Structures are given as C-alpha cells and as structure tokens.
Amino acid sequence: LPAGLAQWFPALEVLDVSGTGLSGLGAELLALPRLHTLLAKNNRLGGPGALPKGLGRAPLGRSLRVLNLSGNRFAEVPPALLELRGLQSLSLGGNRLHGIPPDIQELRSLEFLYLGGNFITSVPPELANLPSLSYLVLCDNKIQSIPPQLAQLHSLRSLSLHNNLLTYLPREILNLVHLEELSLRGNPLVVRFVRDLTYNPPSLQELAGRTIKTRNVPYAPSDLPENLVRYLSLASNCPNPKCGGVYFDSCVRQIKFVDFCGKYRIPLMHYLCSPECSSPCSSASQSSTSQSESDSEDEASVAARRMQKVLLG
C-alpha cells in the first residue's frame, strides 16, 4: 500500500485492494479513522506480516465494521482480528484454516461470519456466545458434528453446512426458531451411518445405579462413597415417556428423521436407555410441526433418499 495513504485520503471509508497480489497490509491503514469496510480478497495474505501490528489499538481497529480476507493463505484466524471488537462482518472463506479459535467469542458485535472453503474439522461451542450472529457459513469444510450449544444463537437466520461430513445434527438445532435457511446438501446424512452406531452393554456399576434410580431405593450421602453419590446424580432420563428408565454412560444412539419448520425432514441424534426402548421421543419443539419418526429401516431409507434429493437453503 502506498505511503501517506491516510494523508491523501483522511476521510476514506471503503477500501478494496482485492486481487492485487498483496502479501501484507501495511501500517498505513492504521491511521484511517473512518475506514469501515476493507476488502482484501484473493491475495497472498497469510504470512507473519500479513496484518499490521497494533491493529486492535489503532483508529482502524475501532472504525472497521466489514473485513473480507477470503481467498488468501491464512492457516489460522489471525489473533489480531480477534481484537476488532466493533467488527460486524468477517469473511475468511477459501483460506487454509484448520480450526476456529475459541476466542472468536470476543467478537461480540459479529453478525456475519463466513468460513466456507477451508479445512475446518470441528466447531468450538464458544461460537454460541456471539449474541448478534445472524448468518453463519461453514460450508465446504470437513466438519463431522455440530455442538448443541449453537442452539443458543437466537439471532441466527441462516446456517450453511453443505459439503461437510455431517452424519446427524444435534436435537437442540430445533430450538433455532428464527432460522430461515438451513443448507445441508452434500453431507453423508444417510441410513448406513445408523447401522454403524454401536451399543456398549452397561457395566455392573451402571446396572446397579439404574436399579437404584428406577426403583427409588432410598440412600443418604453417608451410605455410599462420595464418588458413587456423585455418579448417581448424573443419571439421564430416557426420553421415551413410556419407559421411565435411566442411563449413565451406556445408551443407545439412534438417528431420527423429524420435520423442521414444516418443510424439511432432517436427521437428529436421539438417545435411549436400551436397544429394546424404541418408542418416539415425546419432547416436541417450538419449530417442529410434527415428529414424523419411524423405527423401520424402510421408512428411514425413504427419508434419507429425500434428504439427498432436496436442496436445503
């Protein structure tokens, strides 16, 4: 970038240096007090000097609202970006990112986050601590699961997850009542993953704990060692209302296909206490108009084929 940029254009608000072959953004940017949009797509940014030092403390760090660094060579989200507390839109698509730092939660003003086209394998639960996030794009990565904490993103309107490695979604996703777009195409959301789910028989300790809980055997903290009292407090109730069973470490994982917003059937992870317990879950969701679930493989296969044909989002 040319020296004296701030002197020549002190009132500059939008700067587009995309496709110019830049390997670093110079310190000249730091003195632009009114710059709110910086577009630096399709360059060679990603090395140690890609961003100017002191970015978060400079006038630019306080004024910047939109930053687009897509199509560069970043292998990680630069720590300097996490100091831009006024940032509302951040695009880092088409880079070489392998993860999302938990400190992304520091960008409390963020409304739009684009991280598509990277090598991200997991999503940190801290991402759920962005209260204003409305658009989240995580497509074209290698993500295998979505943390249930994302259901806390109450402002989320659009969630793009297509072309990943998802085999199911957490049931909590139904709590995103304001979600208008959900893109899932290109994920292995098919029945063969149901067959791969394994069930480990409960241990003797778990069997004893289940008996105590289901038969309401009275006990006091003085009757048992502290670790067993703590273990008994961790019992999870089976979601089947006709069962009344509990489980601790050993449970059956199933994938259930349910309606989402009355439009699409999506596979959600479902936990039961034993292989014999196969009744539908009774916990309805505000955003689910019906719980069209079936335990037959034929019905699940039909739903899976429908998922492959329907383009979501």
The answer on pLDDT for 48 being more than 60 is: yes
Structure token pair of residue 59: 């006038």
Q: How many CA atoms lie within 13 A of 252 on its CB side?
A: 18
Residue 258: helix, strand or coil by DSSP? Answer: strand
**pLDDT tens digits for range 245-291:** 898 888 887 666 665 555 556 667 777 888 777 655 433 333 332 33
Structure token pair of residue 119: 């090598």
Neighbours of 192 (CB within 10 A): 10
**pLDDT tens digits for range 151-205:** 999 999 999 999 999 988 887 887 887 888 888 888 887 544 555 556 778 899 9
- Can you tell me which residue has the tokens 């002190």? 10
pLDDT for res 270: 73
**What pTM value is reported for the model?**
0.68
If phi over 0 gives left and psi between -120 and 50 gives alpha, with beta otherwise, what is residue 242?
alpha
| β-bridge mates for residue 159, sequence order | 136, 182
Q: What are φ and ψ of residue 10, in 5° steps? A: -65, -20
Per-domain boundaries in the chain: 200-272
Q: Is the dihedral of CA 65, 94, 119, 179 positive or negative?
A: positive
Q: What ranges in the chain are assigned the alpha helix state H?
A: 5-8, 59-63, 192-196, 204-214, 226-232, 297-309
pLDDT for res 298: 39
What are the CA-CA distances from residue 171 to residues 16, 222, 300 (Å)? 42, 38, 17
pLDDT for res 6: 55
Structure token pair of residue 228: 């067993």
